Amino acid sequence: MLGVAALSGCGTSDSTSSTTVTVFAAASLQHVFTELGARYESAHPGTAVEFSFAGSSTLAAQLEQGAPADVFASANPANMDKAVRSGRITETSTTFATNTLTIVTPPGNPAGIATLADLSRPDLRLVVCAPQVPCGAATRTVTAAAGVAITPVSEESAVTDVLAKVTTGQADAGLVYVTDAASAGDRVVTVPFPEAAAAVNSYPIAVVADAPNPERAREFLDLVTGPEGRKLLAEAGFGSP
């Protein structure tokens, strides 16, 4: 269920002194966090950053069940709050980015999607995120605010799964974050819609209370929230907190 990207160190390969920082991060952060992980490793020889990318609700549940981790980055405050209630996060989290939804279609937009209202067509194969996932909660918010009733053929556990259904031709349209649409490049057509402003997702990050490597975890968090992290996030299409 978890998409895991384990990054090898860019410096020394001395395994006797190696340290691993485990980062649980929302699936929509995969591209930019992978780059930040590589940069962190380059600056900290002997330290490897291992990522578990998945829907934030899945990661919060993993933390509640005791999964070891050093850092948690969620795509919304609600799932960070779950980690707080389970006792795995005890510090005040830091909001480091924002994101909004957009419509994506296969190349050429064969279904002719132009507006959010078009997603209500009964013949449309629409894929969205499941309600418990931040992008799914945002989908419910924007469609309810716009009075658009949708009937998706599938509800996915991560926004990257929605994108994959569209890029592989299994769906006529999907609702994903603008950052995911940007990362897909010419594999999708992006259809912005003004109603997306009704649901702006804020991304919080925090060091896990029982982090195996709290000092290294803090350094990674500082990289994400500092100038270098903010620059990469902006380049990926994330909004400022």
Residues 37 and 71 in one domain: yes
pLDDT given for residue 17 in this prediction: 53
Beta bridge partners of residue 169, listed in sequence order: none
Query: What is the structure's pLDDT at 120?
Result: 98
- Contact of 50 with 23, CB cutoff 8 Å: yes
Q: Residue 186: is it exposed, middle or buried by C-beta count within 10 angstroms (0-12/13-18/19+)?
A: exposed
Q: Answer whether residue 13 is part of any domain.
A: no
* 17-40 average pLDDT score: 95
- Residues forming the annotated binding site for molybdate? 28, 56, 159, 177
187 plus 211 within the same structural domain: no
Q: Cβ neighbours of residue 235 under 8 Å, at least 6 residues apart?
A: 32
Based on the fold, state whether residues 179 and 105 are members of the same structural domain: yes
Residues 119 and 167 in one domain: yes
Selection from 26, 27, 15, 8 nearest residue 205 by Cα: 26
- Cβ within 8 Å of residue 229, ≥6 positions away: 36, 96, 223
Residue 11 lies in a domain: no
Tokens at 162, concatenated:
């929605």
Which pLDDT belongs to residue 18?
Answer: 81
Using CA atoms, how far apart are residues 205 and 207, in angstroms rounded to an integer? 7
Asked if residue 60 and residue 43 are part of one domain, the reply reads yes
> pLDDT by residue (tens digit) across 106-161?
999 999 999 999 999 999 999 999 999 999 999 999 999 999 999 999 999 999 99
Same domain, 31 and 53: yes
Q: What is the pLDDT of residue 69?
A: 98
Find the range with the poorest average confidence among 6-10, 94-98, 126-130: 6-10
Q: Which residues of 7-27 are buried (b: 16+ CB within 10 A; e: fewer)?
A: bebeeeeeeeeeeebbbbbbb
- Tally of structural domains, the chain: 2
Check whether residue 225 and residue 164 sit in a common domain. Answer: no
Q: Are residues 167 and 143 in the same domain?
A: yes
For the cut 80, the answer to whether the pLDDT of residue 11 exceeds it is no
pLDDT at 2: 39
Q: Which pLDDT does position 4 carry in this prediction?
A: 40
Tell me whether residue 219 is in a domain.
yes
The pLDDT of residue 84 is 98
Compute the average pLDDT of residues 29-48: 97
Q: Does residue 12 fall inside a structural domain?
A: no
Residue 180 pLDDT class (50, 70, 90 cuts): very high
Whether 3 shows a pLDDT value over 50: the answer reads: no
Report the alpha-carbon angle 79-199-36, nearest 5: 60
State which residues form the domain around 55.
19-97+202-236
pLDDT at residue 227 tops 70: yes
**Whether the Cβ atoms of residue 198 and residue 138 lie closer than 8 Å to each other:** no
What does the alpha-carbon distance between residue 110 and residue 131 come to, in Å, rounded to a whole number?
27
Residue 152 within any structural domain of the chain: yes
Show binding-site residues.
28, 56, 159, 177
Q: Is there a contact between 126 and 151 (Cβ–Cβ < 8 Å)?
A: yes
CATH number, position 142: 3.40.190.10
- For the chain, the average pLDDT equals 93
Same domain, 151 and 210: no
Q: What is the spatial distance between Cα 145 and Cα 147, in angstroms, rounded to a whole number?
A: 6
Any domain includes 147: yes
- Concatenating the DSSP letter of every residue in 26-75 gives EGGGHHHHHHHHHHHHHHSTTEEEEEEEE-HHHHHHHHHTT---SEEE-S
Q: pLDDT tens digit string along 186-212?
A: 999 999 999 999 999 999 999 999 999
Q: Is residue 218 over pLDDT 90?
A: yes
Do residues 93 and 141 both lie within one domain? no
